Amino acid sequence: MSDLNALSVFARVVEAQSFSEAARRLRMPISTVSRKVAELEDQLGVRLLERSTRKLRLTGIGSEVLELAQKSVDISDAVESIVSNQLVEAQGTLRLSAPPSISDTILVPLATAFQAAHPLVNVQILVTERYVDHIAEGIDLVFRVGPLQDSNLVAQKLLRYRHQLVASPNYLEGIKVPRKPAELCNHRLLAFSFGTLEQSWIFMNRGRKETITVKPHLTMNDYSGIARALTCDAGIGELPPIVRPDLISEGKLVEVMPNWRFVPVDVSIVHLSNRHTSKAVRLFKEFAKQMTPTLFESLPC
């Protein structure tokens, strides 16, 4: 990061609600951050922050100064963006995050292919199901599955697909195969979950909608594990088609109740709307948009 003036540092402290956290994000010593804010207060002749052992509170005039300080941050980011764009080759560190369900089939192929084209870019990947704080964790781009709930994020859709209800041929052999959602309750069911005892499954069939509440026989917060259990004849479960697509193409798993379908979901790449982006980030976004659809022969929608 370029040398930040006192206004920019002040804005970062307020954003982080902590001198130590602001110092970590700015990669500066805490003493430097504290000194710059103190120098700003001395120059203005006013107190901008009320400090306590637990939190910071803006003074009245501090709130007014903050608005201008935030503009100073935006200008600093814009300058860095301009400089980055003038570089002959993209470089620096690109920080990405994605849920486990798409890390190996989407994110790893994208990252490795992107680095082959842009060898000066280092890539750091955080694989997690939890919500990622772009600012606090320094993440440039996050891959999200499903709808977005944060209006501060800009999303670019990469894929659309529906989960499939599948089982092994051995499990289905000799049993009454379900033909409609209500009949699923008579079977051992597998589902993705963080431990919830009951789940609601929504199915669509030519405009008809049916919701059932199921109590899965086996739950796991890892689709790869669910796929493995299904191949061991553990029951009927729902899988994204991007997780182990070979299992269906090779006949190790077959779709159950194909006329009743889960609602499609989108895979998007998102970033904060109020942040200037580096050349590496912009190039990767375009790269992901072009390459992601080519990673799969076809996806059920």
Q: What is the pLDDT of residue 3?
A: 41
Q: What is the pTM of this model?
A: 0.65
pLDDT in tens, the chain (301 residues): 334 578 888 888 888 888 888 888 877 888 888 888 888 888 888 888 887 666 788 888 878 888 777 766 666 665 565 555 554 577 889 999 998 888 888 999 999 999 999 999 999 999 888 777 766 677 889 998 887 766 677 889 999 999 999 999 999 998 889 999 999 988 999 999 877 788 899 999 998 999 999 999 999 989 999 999 999 999 999 999 999 999 999 999 999 999 999 999 999 998 877 556 788 888 999 999 999 999 987 888 8
Domain 92-161+265-295 in CATH 3.20.20.140? The answer is no
Q: Give the CATH architecture of domain 164-262.
A: 3-Layer(aba) Sandwich (3.40)
**Top CATH class, 6-86:** mainly alpha
pLDDT at 1: 38
Could you tell me the residue ranges of all domains in the chain?
Answer: 6-86, 92-161+265-295, 164-262
Decide whether 92-161+265-295 matches 164-262 in CATH topology: yes
| HEC secondary structure over the chain | CCCCCHHHHHHHHHHHCCHHHHHHHHCCCHHHHHHHHHHHHHHHCCCCEEECCCCEEECHHHHHHHHHHHHHHHHHHHHHHHHHHHCCCCCEEEEEEECHHHHHHHHHHHHHHHHHHCCCEEEEEEECCCCCCHHHHCCCEEEEECCCCCCCEEEEEEEEECCEEEECHHHHCCCCCCCCHHHHHHCCEEEECCCCCCEEEEEEECCEEEEEEECCCEEECCHHHHHHHHHCCCCEEEECCCCCCHHHHCCCCEECCCCCEECCEEEEEEEECCCCCCHHHHHHHHHHHHHHHHHCCCCCC
